[in-house]
Structure 1
Amino acid sequence: MELLPRLDAAEVRRLDRAHVMHSWSAQDLIDPPGVVAARGSRFTDHTGREYLDFSSQLVNVNLGHQHPDLVAAIAEAAGRMTTMAPSFAVETRSQAAAMIADRAPGDLDAVFFTNGGADANEHAIRMARLHTGRHKVLAAYRSYHGGTAGAMALTGEPRRWGSEPSLPGIVHHWGPYPYRSPFHSDSPEQECERALAHLREVVEVEGPQHVAAIVLETVVGTNGVLVPPDGYLAGVRTLCDEHGIVMIADEVMAGFGRVGEWFAVDRWGITPDLITFAKGVNSGYVPLGGVVVNAAIRETFGRRPYPGGLTYQGHPLACASAVASMRIFERDGVVEHARALGEDVIGPGLREIAQRHPSVGEVRGLGVMWAVELVRDRETRQPLVPFNASGDAAAPMSEVAAACKAAGLWPMIAGNRVHVVPPCTTTADEVREGLAILDEALAVADARTA
C-alpha cells in the first residue's frame, strides 16, 4: 500500500474545492491555483507556468523553497525523533533555544516555543500581564499580529473587525507613517517626535499604572512596510522604562534576515523585553514560533508556574529545522546577502522605477522587505484604491497583480501597495528580473493616474 499516493493536478484542485476551507476568503468566489513544484525563488503551478516568487508566500520562505540542506536536515531529524512532549529536555529543542537566545539582544536569554506567530503574541501579552499585574496593552492601528483571539484583538487593521467584540484591555494608537502622517508632520524627525508625544499621551490617559505592555511590529509588515523613523523605537523603550511597561517587539515578519539583521531591533540598537518570532526562523518548513524572554520576566516564572503551554511546543522536528536554518544562514551569509540586496539592488531599482511611473507615490524598505505605494495623484497622494477596498473598488490593484502574474512574477499585494519581499536567498539577477517585470506591470497603474 502506497502511504503517500501522488495525485495529478486536476485531482488536487478538485479535492481542494470539495473539502478545504481557505482563510480570509469567500469560499465559493475563489479558485486557488494548484502548485506542483517549488525550488529556490520559484514555483510552478498546475498549468506548468513558473513564477518568480516576490511574496515569499506569506513573507516567510526566507531560505527559499525546498532548500536541499534544510530538507535533508528535517529528514535526518525525523529519523532520530519525530515528537516528544514539551515536559522533556530534547536535543533539538535545547539547541534551537540556545541559538536563538545567542542571537537575541541584551539579556533576552530564554525561549518559550509556540506553533506560530499568532500564539507567540498571545503568550507575550499573557507574560506581560502576569509580570506587571496590569491588564491594558497598547498596539498600533496599522498592525497585524495574528488570527487567534488575543492576537486579533491586538491587530489594528480591518481584519480585526470580524472578531469583535474581542479581548478586553487592548488600546490602539497611531504609529509613525511619514508619507501619510496622522500627525501632519513634514519630516521623519518631526513624525518621530509627534508619534512619541501621541503615544505618551495615550499612556497618560489610560493610566500608566494599568498598562502592562506596548506591542509593536519593529517594521510594520502587511500594513505598509513602515520603517520606523530613527529615534522612535528608542523613545518607546524610554517610555516603557519610565512606567514599568513591557516592550514587546513583534518580529514574526521582520526577524531572521528579512531586513538584513538577525532581529530588526538590532538595526536601531534597541533591546525590548520580549521578542516574538516565527516565519523566517525556519522558513515555515515546519510550523514554529516563539517568544524570546528577558531575565526579569523569566524570573517572574522561576518559582511561579507559567499558566500556558501547547502540545506541540518546541516540536523536535520544528526545532531541528530552526537549528539547521540558522546554521545555513551563518554558513552562507544569508543575513549579509539580504542586507546587500536591499542596499545595492532592490532599493536603487525601485527608486529608478519610481522616477518612471507617475503611479508610484513612495518606495520604502530595508533588506528584502519593501513596499511600492501606488497613487492616483502624486501631489494629493490619493491612493490608487481606497482604504480596505474590495470588489470593483480594488480592481486597479488586481490588474497590476494580473499583469505581474502574466509575465511570470508572483507579487504580494496589500491595500494600494505592491510589496517586494522575495526570499532572502534570491540572487541579484533574479531580483533584477522581477523588478523589470514589475516595471512593465506598473503601466497598468499609470493608466489610472490623474
Structure 2
Amino acid sequence: MTSTTPHSPQPDPETGAAVKAADRAHVFHSWSAQELIDPLAVAGAEGSYFWDYEGRRYLDFSSGLVFTNIGYQHPKVVAAIQEQAGKLATFAPAFAVESRSEAARLIAGRTPGDLDKIFFTNAGAEAVEHAIRMARLHTGRHKVLSAYRSYHGGTQQTVNVTGDPRRWASDTGQAGVARFWAPFLYRSRFYAENEEQECARALEHLETTIAFEGPATIAAVILESVPGGAGIMVPPPGYLQGVREICDRHGIVFILDEVMAGFGRTGTWFAADLFDVVPDLMTFAKGVNSGYVPLGGVAISAEIAATFARRPYPGGLTYSGHPLACAAAVATIRVMEEEGIVENAARMGAEVLGPGLRELAERHPSVGDVRGVGMFWAVELVRDRATREPLVPYNASGEANAPMAAFAAAAKANGLWPFVNMNRTHVAPPCTATGSELKEGLAALDAALAVADSYTV
C-alpha cells in the first residue's frame, strides 16, 4: 500500500478553543460522565492519521471506533459522496435507487453462502435489532441466546443482548435473552488446557444451556464472529461450525454479528470466511463504507427471506439505504478491490502486526496475552503473568483504572492513539496501513508498555 501520511498540520489554537467550548456547552457524549471527560478537538484526518488544532498528529490504532478500514478521507469515496449529493442526495426507502441497488448487489456478492438479500439500516445496533426481529418472526419463538464477553449495540434490545458491563445500567431482565460462555482459552471458563478442549467444552456448554432453556423456546443464537470490543477473541477451529450444527439440529436461527469484524478487518471480506461457516443472518456496518456516511444492514438467507415473500416484514427505517451512504459503500467496496486492501490487512497482520506484538510481549512483563488476526488484535495487560491478574480490575474506573490511564497517556504522548478497553489495548489500525506506519505504531506502543510494566508485581 502507498503511504497516506499527510503533510504537517498547521496549528490553529483559536479555532480549536471555539470548537472545544461549543462541544462542552452543548454536546452530550455517549458512555460518559459529562463533566469528567475532556474530548480532543480534531482539526483533520488523512489516511492512518488525524491531528488536533495544536498541530499534534496521531497515528490512529483505533480506526475511529474500528470503522475507518480504508483510512480517513479516501479521495475516491469522498468524490462518490459528492457526486451522489449532486445527483440525488436523498430518497425514500420504498423506491429502487441506483446507489442502493448497486450497494446491495456488491455486498451480496461478498457475503458467504446464500446471504443474498440485504436489509439496510443506519448502524450496527439497528442491524442487530432487525436480525433478532427477523429470527423471532421466522421461528415463532422469542428467546435469544448470546455470549458473555460480547457487544451488540446500544439500543434497548441490543444492549440487553450484550454480554459486558455496558448492559448493566439498562438491563431489564425481561428482554428474552439468556447467556452462555463462548470459548476464550486465555481466561477459560472450562478449565481447558488447549484449543481442542476449549472448543469441545464450549460446545458442550452451549448444548447444555439450550437443553435447559428449552430448544423450542429459542429463536436465535447470536455471536460476534470474532468478538471485538469485548476482547478480540478469535474462536478456536471448529467452534463456529459446531454452533452451526447445534442450531440446525434444533431449528434455531444462527446470527453472526460482523459489525466490527466485517469488510476486511480480519484479512478476509468477512470473519466468517476464516471459519468456512454460513449463518442464517449476518449483520454488518462500520467497514461497509468506513463510516463515511452511517450505514448498516442485515444479510439474509434464502430461507428467511422466503418467510417474508408474501408476508410483510413489520419493520423499517426512514433512512434505510440512504443514497449517500450507499454511494459511499459502492465506492468503498470498489476501492478495497482495486487497491487490494483486504489482502493488505491479511499480509500486514501476518508479517508485521502479529510478529511485532509477540516480540513486545517477550520484553514487557505487563503483556499477558497477544491475540488476533489481520488488522484486529488485542494486547491483554496484567499485573502478574503467572496468575494472569488483570492490570486493572474488571470494569475499573477512577483511581482503580489509573494504570491503564497512564498507559494510554503515554501512548498519546508518543503520537499513538490507542483503543483501550478495561485491561486491554486493541490494535486495530486502518486496513490500508503500511508496514512503516505499523512499525511506527509498534515503537510508540513499546514506550507505553514500559509505563504499564511499572505497575506489575
Q: TM-score, normalised by structure 1?
A: 0.98
Give the structure 1 partner of residue 297 of structure 2.
290
1:275 is paired with a residue whose SS is strand
Give the structure 2 partner of residue 3 of structure 1.
none
Q: Write the distance in 2 (CA, Å) between the matches of 1:9 and 1:68.
A: 25
Contact 1:128 1:213 in 2 (8 A): yes
User: Please, which of 113, 116, 136 is the counterpart of residue 106 of structure 1?
Assistant: 113
Contact 1:140 1:216 in 2 (8 A): yes
The structural deviation recorded for 1:106 is: 0.8
User: Please, which of 333, 339, 344 is the counterpart of residue 340 of structure 2?
Assistant: 333
User: Please, which of 297, 302, 307 is the counterpart of residue 300 of structure 1?
Assistant: 307
The residue type equivalent to 1:155 in the other structure is: T
Q: Write the distance in 1 (CA, Å) between the matches of 2:87 and 2:240.
A: 43
Q: Write the distance in 2 (CA, Å) between the matches of 1:217 and 1:371.
A: 15
Give 1:34-113 correspondences, 5 Å limit: 34-113=41-120
Give 1:34-433 correspondences, 5 Å limit: 34-165=41-172, 167-433=174-440
The structural deviation recorded for 1:68 is: 1.0
Contact 1:33 1:46 in 2 (8 A): no
Contact 1:53 1:410 in 2 (8 A): yes
2:31 is paired with a residue whose SS is coil
The structural deviation recorded for 1:46 is: 2.2
Is 2:26 the partner of 1:19?
yes
Q: CA 1:167–1:95 in 2, change beyond 3 Å: closer, same or farther?
A: farther
Contact 1:377 1:449 in 2 (8 A): yes
The residue type equivalent to 1:195 in the other structure is: A
The structural deviation recorded for 1:168 is: 2.2
The structural deviation recorded for 1:355 is: 0.4
Q: Deviations over 1:266-320 (max 9, x none)?
A: 0111000000000000000000000000000000000000000000000001000
The CA RMSD measured in Å over matched residues stands at: 0.8
Q: Write the distance in 2 (CA, Å) between the matches of 1:52 and 1:386.
A: 28
Q: Deviations over 1:56-114 (max 9, x none)?
A: 01000101111111101110111110111011000000000011111011111100000
Q: Deviations over 1:196-228 (max 9, x none)?
A: 000000100011011100000000001110000
Give the structure 2 partner of residue 33 of structure 1.
40
Contact 2:244 2:279 in 1 (8 A): yes
1:84 is paired with a residue whose SS is coil
How many matched pairs? 444
2:191 is paired with a residue whose SS is coil
The residue type equivalent to 1:419 in the other structure is: H
The structural deviation recorded for 1:166 is: 5.3
Contact 1:150 1:166 in 2 (8 A): no
Q: TM-score, normalised by structure 2?
A: 0.96
Is 2:424 the partner of 1:439?
no
2:116 is paired with a residue whose SS is strand
Contact 1:139 1:154 in 2 (8 A): yes
Contact 1:86 1:311 in 2 (8 A): yes
Contact 1:149 1:167 in 2 (8 A): no
Contact 2:61 2:428 in 1 (8 A): yes
The residue type equivalent to 2:28 in the other structure is: M
Contact 1:55 1:419 in 2 (8 A): yes
Q: Write the distance in 1 (CA, Å) between the matches of 2:51 and 2:142.
A: 48
Q: Write the distance in 2 (CA, Å) between the matches of 1:47 and 1:141.
A: 41
Give the structure 2 partner of residue 4 of structure 1.
none
Contact 1:149 1:166 in 2 (8 A): no
Q: Write the distance in 1 (CA, Å) between the matches of 2:361 and 2:166.
A: 30
Q: Write the distance in 1 (CA, Å) between the matches of 2:180 and 2:173.
A: 17
Identity, % of aligned pairs? 64
Q: Write the distance in 1 (CA, Å) between the matches of 2:377 and 2:40.
A: 25
The structural deviation recorded for 1:10 is: 1.3
The residue type equivalent to 2:238 in the other structure is: G
Contact 2:157 2:175 in 1 (8 A): no
Give the structure 1 partner of residue 455 of structure 2.
448
The residue type equivalent to 1:334 in the other structure is: I
The structural deviation recorded for 1:156 is: 0.6
The structural deviation recorded for 1:31 is: 1.3
Q: Deviations over 1:380-411 (max 9, x none)?
A: 10110010000011110010000000010000
